[in-house]
């Protein structure tokens, strides 16, 4: 899968803190060797999920926060270009960012691989609300952002929050307040569905019930969070119809959402549009909907 090119931002020592996502036992896990690898900032075989915390300077922090889910077809995580670099840019706007290194579906490490990534996204949302005072974030302005398959995970978190797949004795809300979906996988149905992501998450022969459950355009309700979507019309990896169908479902429920389609960009926005182009439109949408105030 083509990768997203952002500004060349290097991470300095101490710029962020990586913490285990679960303080105790990882749910839905099987005992297995840790085989995680990181080559050229592309992570594979994640079995121990983490959250990397990027807090903005105190003088510009505005309380908004975003959980960032890198893409990679549910087979890898483009952890730098679709994670750490994005978090740095969010910090510049006073937004706290949290890069989620979520488990990659595997029967070797999970009892039900289809639920592992969603569990990690729900745990991340819960963690932000639990630590909102410590991190000085507004528990009512927690968003989730995803690229490609990470966009599918973000959309899944935004449409399946009523079903808790993690321990949550305090009944903390698992609903993100908004979604930012960048050339996202949305559906697993028909020719629009991304076959690689579907096979990695659901297996080679999933039931129709499971396909529908994880086809998020079918899961939108009147309480689904608002969304910003962007996609390229010439995307041959994840067709633009993924974003169009999701936007139409949101619009039918009168959920305030933006959809920005570029004629060129392919999958990953390698050359165009520029990061600042689509990101600037995203910031405008956030301001318009009261999700971002600049000090």
Give per-residue pLDDT as tens, 29-63. Answer: 999 999 999 999 999 999 999 999 999 999 999 99
Confidence of residue 294 (pLDDT cuts 50, 70, 90): low
Confidence (pLDDT) at 193: 82
Question: Helix (H, G, I), strand (E, B), or coil: what is residue 76?
Answer: coil
What would be the CATH architecture of the domain defined by 17-25+34-288? 3-Layer(aba) Sandwich (3.40)
Asked whether the predicted pLDDT for residue 3 surpasses 60, the reply is no
Q: What is the dihedral of CA 181, 77, 217, 89, to 10 degrees?
A: -10
Cis peptide preceding 185, ω within 30 of 0: no
* Closest to 204 in 3D by CA, of 60, 101, 105: 105
Q: How many whole angstroms from its chain centre is CA 198?
A: 16
Q: How many whole angstroms from its chain centre is CA 262?
A: 21
Confidence (pLDDT) at 170: 94
> Which whole number is the average pLDDT over 247-260?
98
């Amino acid at each position: 899968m083509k990768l997203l090119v952002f500004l060349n931002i290097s991470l300095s020592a101490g710029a962020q803190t990586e913490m285990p996502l679960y303080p105790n036992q990882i749910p839905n896990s099987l005992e297995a060797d840790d085989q995680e690898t990181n080559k050229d900032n592309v992570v594979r075989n994640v079995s121990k999920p983490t959250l990397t915390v990027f807090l903005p300077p105190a003088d510009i922090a505005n309380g908004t926060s975003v959980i960032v889910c890198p893409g990679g077809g549910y087979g890898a995580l483009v952890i730098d270009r679709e994670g750490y670099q994005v978090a740095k840019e969010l910090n510049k706007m006073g937004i706290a960012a949290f890069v989620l290194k979520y488990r990659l579906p595997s029967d070797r490490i999970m009892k039900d691989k289809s639920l592992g990534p969603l569990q990690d996204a729900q745990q991340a949302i819960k963690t932000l609300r639990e630590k909102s005072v410590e991190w000085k974030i507004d528990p009512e302005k927690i968003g989730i952002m995803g690229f490609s398959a990470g966009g599918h995970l973000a959309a899944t978190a935004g449409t399946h929050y009523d079903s808790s797949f993690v321990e949550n004795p305090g009944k903390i809300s698992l609903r993100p307040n908004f979604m930012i979906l960048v050339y996202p996988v949305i559906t697993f149905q028909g020719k629009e569905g991304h076959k690689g992501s579907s096979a990695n998450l659901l297996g080679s022969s999933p039931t129709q019930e499971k396909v529908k459950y994880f086809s998020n355009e079918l899961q939108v309700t009147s309480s689904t969070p608002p969304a910003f979507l962007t996609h390229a019309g010439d995307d041959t990896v994840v067709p633009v119809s993924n974003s169009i169908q999701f936007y139409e479902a949101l619009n039918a429920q009168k959920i305030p959402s933006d959809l920005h389609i570029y004629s060129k960009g392919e999958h990953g926005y390698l050359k165009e549009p520029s990061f600042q182009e689509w990101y600037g439109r995203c910031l405008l949408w956030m301001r318009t909907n009261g999700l971002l105030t600049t000090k």
